[in-house]
Amino acid sequence: MEIVVLRLHHRITRDKRMSSHLALVARAFGAQKLVYSGEYDNRIEQTVTQIVESWGGNFGVEYTQNERQFIKQWKKDGGIVVHLTMFGIEIDDVVDEIRKVDKDILVIVGGAKVEIEFYHLADFNIAIGHQPHSEVAALAICLDKITNGKGRKRRYSDARVEIEPCKKGKKVIDKRRKEK
Ligand code: SAM
């Protein structure tokens, strides 16, 4: 099952760090790719490339000029669409249904204003609680619930840097040193 995150309406000034954080959260919680629309901003890709080089995997970033077309094509290809919005159905009430569908999932997160059309294009409008908060927090919880925690426990065989968990302090295994 592939999970792709679609970030709507990126704006370079408002979302300078937010969209990069969405990409990092998407990668760390089990998605394979972030697609974004709005203003083109190569810094999102640069941030992700640096992380992937050290921490492994093949997470990608893509830009789309036409997010509506992208969503429609996703559905034509057989995937389902989950839209994160505080107006939706509480995730705990639908997560089992989403998992059961067992199809590729496009998770849409909004920016400042999400047009009503996206609510209708989505198969599931999902709330992470019904208070306004952050797309980054909403995405992390959504992916964690959908993957049942497996996304964030994934390890990468090509990682050049890994953490060795420890109760106190920091242990980092840096394979790059051995490569030299
Ligand atoms: N007022 C905006 C609107 O018209 O949709 C929402 C702005 S909010 C900062 C940006 C994004 O965060 C939303 O589009 C949604 O994807 C996500 N988000 C914020 N709170 C959420 C919640 N309680 N549940 C699910 N997603 C949420």
Residue 141, by phi and psi: left (phi above 0), alpha (psi -120 to 50) or beta?
alpha
Give the pLDDT band (50/70/90) at residue 180.
low
Q: Which of 55, 57, 59 is nearest to 175 (CA)?
A: 55
Task: Report the distance separating Cα 113 and Cα 172, nearest Å.
Answer: 41
Q: Which two tokens stand for residue 139?
A: 């995405």
Positive or negative CA dihedral for 117, 118, 124, 128?
A: negative
Q: Ligand 1 within 6 A of 86 CB?
A: yes
Mean pLDDT of the chain: 95
CB atoms < 10 A from the CB of 58, how many?
Answer: 10
Give the pLDDT band (50/70/90) at residue 175.
confident
Q: Ligand 1 within 6 A of 132 CB?
A: yes
Percent with pLDDT over 90 in the chain: 92
Give the pLDDT band (50/70/90) at residue 151.
very high
Give the pLDDT band (50/70/90) at residue 58.
very high
Q: How far is the CA of 75 from the centre of ligand 1 (A)?
A: 22
Q: Which two tokens stand for residue 152?
A: 């964030």
* Longest alpha-carbon distance in the chain: 54
Nearest CA to ligand 1 atom 22: 86
